[in-house]
Amino acid sequence: MVVARHRPTKAIIDTTAITANIKNERARLPQDTALFAVVKANGYGHGAVETARAAANGGATGFCVATIDEGIELREAGIVAPILLLGVVAVSDTPLLATYDFSFPVASQEWLQEAESYLANVALTRPLKVHIKVDTGMGRIGFLDAQAVAEAASWVEAHEAFEWEGVFTHFSTADQADTAYWQQQHLFFQEVLTALPHLPKYIHTGNSATALWHEQAVGNMIRYGIAMYGLNPSGHALAAPFELKPALSLVSALIQVKLLEKGSGIGYGETYITPQQEWIGTVPIGYADGWLRKMQGFSVLVEGEYCEIVGRVCMDQLMIRLPREMPVGTKVTLIGENQGQQITMQDVADQLDTIHYEVACTLSSRVPREYKS
C-alpha cells in the first residue's frame, strides 16, 4: 500500500519516549541481564528500524522479530546486534539464518531430524544458533516435557551445524492479577531447567509483563515488547511499576467544515441524523488506515475539546460534530494530547473491545510515520 504523504493524517513517533522506556527498565535489571527489544510487526506499528535504533540508545542489547524477513530488514539497515526470531522457520531457510546471523527457536524433535537430513548437503557460513522453546502452558509452539527438552539440547550439542544458545518459554497470564496459572508455568519451566545437562548462554521467560511484575523470574534476558512503546501490557488490570511514556500519536486535520440543518443524514446508511442545526467537520482518515468502523460514537480532540464521530467511518474519511465553526486545517488528534486533553491508545482499544497491541498494529502502511527525537 502506498504511503499517503499528501494529506494531514500521520502517526508521530516520539523516539525519546522509547529510549526512556528502555532506560527505565534497564535501571531495574541486574547489570548482566540482556534486554532484547521486540520490534516485530513493524515495531508494533511504530516502525521497526527507527524503534530499534531508539531502543539501542536506551540500552537494548539485541532484538526480537517474528520472521526472517523482519530480521533481514534490520540487518540491511545496518543493525549488527543479536537478532532472535520468535517464530518457527522452515528447514529450507536455515542457510539464511546463518548468512544473517539470526538466532531462532526450535520447537520439536521432528524439526531437528528434518534439519539434520537437509543440512547434510548444505555448507553453512556459521553454526545455527538455537533457542529451545518450551511450551509451559501457552499452547502455541514448543516442547511439552522436560525430558524432551533435555534430549533436544543434547542432540543440538552433538551436531556441529548447531550452537545451543538459549532456552525459553512464554507466560500467558503474566499481565493478570491472579498469578496461579503463571506460577504453574513458572514451576514447570524450573523443572525443565533442572533436567538440563547444563544451562546455555540465555535463559529467558520475560516478556514485558513478566519483566514488569515478575522480575524475579526473567532469567538473564528479557524480551521487552509492548512496554517499550509506552503501553501497559495489562491494559487496566495492573499498575506499571514506573511511568510508561506512550510513543505514538495519531493526528489529522479538518478538510471541510459545514453547517447542516436539523434532520440531515451523515454517512453511509444514514446512521446519524442531526437532531438540530450542527457544525460537521470532515477528517481524512478511515478504516483503510486502521481507524475502524466501530469507532463511530468515539470522540477525537479538536482545540482541546472532545468531538464525537458521527455517522459511519468511511474507508478514507470520517465526520465529527464540532461545538462551533472551526477553520479548515485545524488539527485533529485521534491518539495523543491536544491542549491539555488526552486520548490514549487504551481508550481506542476500549472502544473497539480489544487490546492496544491490536490498535497499534492495525494502523495501516498508508499512514505516514513521522519521527521526532
Which residues are annotated as part of the binding site for substrate?
140, 315
Name 253's Cβ contacts closer than 8 Å, sequence gap at least 6.
8, 9, 283, 284, 328, 329, 330, 331, 332
Radius of gyration of the chain, Cα coordinates, nearest whole angstrom: 24
What spatial distance separates the first Cα and last Cα of the chain, rounded to whole Å?
Answer: 27
Name 81's Cβ contacts closer than 8 Å, sequence gap at least 6.
56, 60, 61, 62, 63
Q: How far is CA 68 from CA 30, 49, 255, in A?
A: 30, 15, 41
Q: For residues 226 and 234, is the Cβ–Cβ distance under 8 A?
A: no
Count the Cβ atoms, other than its own, within 10 Å of residue 93: 13
b/e burial code for range 331-341 (CB count within 10 A of at least 16 → b) = ebbbbbebeee
CA gap 267, 53 in Å, rounded: 42
Give Cα 59 distance to the centre of its chain: 18
**Residue keyed to cell 505514538:** 248
Task: State the alpha helices, DSSP H only, in the chain.
Answer: 15-26, 40-44, 48-58, 68-76, 94-99, 109-119, 146-157, 180-195, 208-213, 345-352, 356-362
What is the three-state SS of 318-329?
EEEEECCCCCCC
Nearest to 188 by CA among 248, 139, 235, 247: 139
CA gap 53, 22 in Å, rounded: 11
| Residues contributing to the annotated binding site | 140, 315
Provide the annotated active-site residues: 40, 268
Nearest to 264 by CA among 273, 253, 256, 255: 273
DSSP state of 272: E
